[in-house]
Amino acid sequence: MRFLRPPERITGGWVVMTLLKIVVALFVLVGSWLTISNGYYSYSNWQAFFVNGLALGAVYALIALGYTLVYGILFMINFAHGEVFMSGAFTAFFTATWMADLGMIEANPWLALFITLLTAMLTSMSVAIILERVAYRPLRGAPRLVPLITAIGASLFLQYTFRGLYGAGVRAYPNFGLFEGSITLGFFTIPTNRAVVIVAALFLMLALYVFVEKTRTGRSMRAVSEDKDVAAMMGINVDRVIVTTFAIGGLLAGAAGILYVQIFNQVHYFMGFLPGIKAFTSAVLGGIGNIVGAMLGGFSLGILESVGPQLLLRGFEIPSPNQLKDVIAFTVLVLVLIFRPTGFLGRKENV
Amino acid sequence: MQKYMRWSAILAVLVLVLAACQNGGGGTDPSPGDNGNGNGNGDGGAAEQCDADEFGCVEVAEGEPIILGTALVISGPNSTLGLDTQYGAQVAAELRNEEGGVLGRQIEFDFQDDGCSAEGGTAAARALVSNPQVVAVIGTSCSSAGVPAAEITSEAGYTMVSPSNTAPSLTAEDTHQPFYARTAHNDSVQGAAMAEYACTELGAESAATIHDGSPYAEQLQQVFADEFQEQCGGTITVQEAITVGQTDFSALLESIGADAPDLLYYPIFVAEAALVTQQAAQTPGLENTQLAGADAAFTQDFVDAAGGTAEGMIMSGPDLEFAGSFYEETFKPKYTEISGEAQPIQVFHAHAFDAVNIVLAAIEEVGIEEGGTLYIPRTALRDAVLGTSGHEGITGTLTCTETGDCADPAISVSEVQDGEFVRIWP
């Protein structure tokens, strides 16, 4: 057991850490065993938990990619990214309601969906690019705390702008009627809309991966993230690469917005806040700056949130375990940061 | 230069600390000695009564308005609740102003936002008690805001009458605040009514509940659970909780659906209720479960937010069958004039109307006109409000108990049919 091997000198710190590892492991094992042996949930319940977690995780992963890309290049957390996601979702709502009024959704739902997708992704992209130009570029050389605070300010600005434009209430996204019912693949029965979300997200992530690894722009992005100055010396237009990074992050967030409203059918000016934080958590979980890490982190967090409370807490007879799902998600983050500060797949960073 | 900057920074911080520590008390200084005499006007001069009153008097000069504070949820997803209540209060004030106001003075408002949260209620209450011209407060909308707000206003001697707080603890013997009253029903009535409906009309044998941790939801579902078990021996399969702002309830609903209860009662607010309703429609275990909500989501906003999935859902709430032509001929047109809405947007506007009128009646009773200035002793005002008896309001005949319950409660159950609320019981 590699992680339990004692070091040369047994310090108090090592004892505490090992105790912590044992307590956590016990908690997880005992809780899971109690829940499963008591048979609270059937196979279809667990399946549903898992699938819901996967779908939500897909959305988190898409938003997390935006965080991780920007961090990889600028070493800064774009806290306004949750609002970029929200702007995509709101544009989707706006376009969809407009088309519903025109009767286009009944006439040709696939075309309507395509138009909604396009407008949402374009709007998110524009918001991200404007953010970069207005809020971050002027602060390129400033100490790291400054763009962080600016990001928070930009986030608040966007939230209240959308509140001013669309009101403070919760708005319902019209149902396109395309993804009703569920699909069965062997053992698995998945609600269609969740399946669509997972497949679409995977497709986008694959596209991003291919883009970053195989294309020229992708190569420039990787070069800039490795060393900005040397990349500039090699003739790469660093500014343009940064704008491209923000644009891609925005596109993905816009897509995440559309997928999110397929599951939840609701938009609200404050909706970007919690997914933004969860996505940031996913990015850190997977190793901030690492693209595959962000994808892994997103899916893991989604599944943890969905399956965790049921699996771990129900066995201990804790009332309303669902209230604690955020606790589980963030506790995992804290534990990962304690035991593996760079995240699952994180790279070593010289701070 | 550095030394100068450091000292001026220290000075600035000291000034800010002193400003923040200002005592936000009532009008004049509270005087020592016995409590306010609480009798009507005419008993001794104004100066005497104001000195004897623990919290002093509000002084309204000639031509100055009488200011009522409001602390209602006027922003966010529950804004229909607060705005509706505010409009109801405004109708009461407008109608009175048209008749010449109270004791010759016009009524004006100081609107605050209670945010439907403890933080919002605290902020709104503090803002109002720091204004010595505010005579009384109409608020709060949500019980979660009401708990801290009632404490702050009672400590400052500001009478607060709530048109929509329904949590039982706010007027319970051991937990109520002295300067607090409400014209909304007590949820011990609402929970019992829903239990009765479930037992007698639905014939439900099992039920599950979901609350959101707020005093309102938590207490209401507990009353329902207790009454359901007592009235017809039903079983409560599980009492679950969510957090406000949560969007994903699929796991929660799956786990509730595993027990397949006959009724699922979730007295939570618009945003979460809409999401729960939508996701319940997609949960296989809840196909035969009757979904039920309560007055927090009793608004068209909820039906719109839930899309078509709210069809067939039942809601408990104040009975809106107001008898009499006054409501249709005078109240509603005025409401539309003030708000721009064709129909009232929630159910508590009438309670606000009655709350304002109770306060105005109390002002007329205890206000002392002397030398052109109107003196309103604060404790006397509270006593007059709590002493309200047989007041004919549009929600019924209001008589306040010692602990602050003034409502003439009537709860009905409505069903969402074709996107509209239709009363089905009693």
Q: Is the dihedral of CA B264, B268, B272, B275 positive or negative?
A: positive
Report the topology of domain B188-312.
Rossmann fold (3.40.50)
Q: Which of A264, A314, A322 sits opposite B275 (nearest CB)?
A: A264
Residue A170: which of A272, A267, A315, A104 has the closest Cα? A267
Question: Residue B35 — pLDDT band, cuts 50, 70, 90?
Answer: very low
Residue of A nearest to B254 (CA): A45
Residue A302 pLDDT level (bands cut at 50, 70, 90): very high
Instruction: Please answer yes or no on whether A305 and B248 come within 8 Å at the CB atom.
Output: yes
Q: Would the CB atoms of B247 and A48 count as touching at under 8 Å?
A: no
Q: Is the pLDDT of residue B208 over 80?
A: yes
Handedness of CA A243, A244, A247, A252 (dihedral sign): negative
Instruction: Indicate if the alpha-carbon torsion angle B182, B185, B189, B191 is positive or negative.
Output: negative
Output the pLDDT for position B23.
47
Q: What is the Cα–Cα distance from A258 to A57, expressed in whole angstroms? A: 14
What residues in A contact B258, CB-CB < 8 Å? 40-42, 45
* pLDDT value at A350 more than 80: no
- Find the CB nearest B75 among A168, A274, A309: A168
CB contact under 8 A, B250 and A320: no
Rg (C-alpha) for chain B, rounded Å, is 23
Which chain A residues are within 8 Å of B248, Cβ to Cβ?
A: 52, 56, 264, 305-306
What's the rounded Cα separation, in Å, for the pair A48 and A303?
Answer: 11
SS3 content of chain A, % helix, strand, coil (to 5): 75, 5, 20
Tell me: domain B46-184+323-410, CATH 3.40.50.2300, correct?
Answer: yes
- pLDDT above 90 (res B29): no
Amino acid at B322: F
A184 near B CB under 8 A: no
Mean pLDDT of A122-126: 96
Structure tokens given for B342: 């064709």
Q: What is the ipTM of this complex?
A: 0.71
Output the pLDDT for position B94: 94
Q: What is the mean pLDDT of residues B206-231?
A: 92
* Helix, strand, coil share (%) of chain B residues, nearest 5: 45, 20, 35
Q: What's the whole-number mean pLDDT along residues B313-336?
A: 84
Please give the average per-residue pLDDT across B320-346, as a whole number. Answer: 83
Residue span(s) of chain B under CATH 3.40.50.2300 come to 46-184+323-410, 188-312
- Percent of residues, chain A, with pLDDT higher than 70: 97
Residue B27 — pLDDT band, cuts 50, 70, 90? very low
Question: Which chain A residues contact residue B297 at CB under 8 A?
Answer: none
Structure confidence at residue B32 as a pLDDT band (50, 70, 90): very low
**Res B248 pLDDT > 90:** no
Model pLDDT for residues B64-121, shown as the tens digit of each residue: 999 999 999 988 788 888 999 999 999 999 999 999 888 889 999 999 999 999 999 9
Per-residue model confidence (pLDDT) at position B22 = 56
DSSP class of residue B59? E
Strand-strand pairing, B373-377 and B57-60:
antiparallel
Nearest Cα to Cα of residue A246 among A132, A149, A328, A350: A132
For domain A50-339, the CATH class is mainly alpha
pLDDT digits 0-9 by tens, A141-159:
889 899 999 999 999 999 9
State pLDDT tens for residues A169-204.
Answer: 778 888 787 777 778 877 778 888 888 999 999 999
* Dihedral, B194, B196, B199, B204 alpha carbons, nearest 10: 0
Tell me, what's the pLDDT at B1?
A: 66
Per-residue confidence at A260, pLDDT binned at 50, 70, 90? very high
Only one residue has tokens 């938009």, namely A267
Whether B211 shows a pLDDT value over 90: the answer reads: yes
Taking the domains of chain A in order of start, what are their residue ranges?
50-339
Average pLDDT over residues B213-231: 92
Distance to chain A for B271, nearest Cα, Å: 6
CA distance B304 to chain A (A): 6
Which of A190-194, A317-321, B188-192 is predicted least confidently? A317-321
Q: Distance (Å, rounded) from C-alpha B163 to C-alpha B149?
A: 14
Task: Mutation target for A interface from B247, B283, B302: give the one with most A CBs within 10 A.
Answer: B247
- The nearest alpha carbon in chain B to A174 belongs to B307
The mean pLDDT value of chain B amounts to: 87
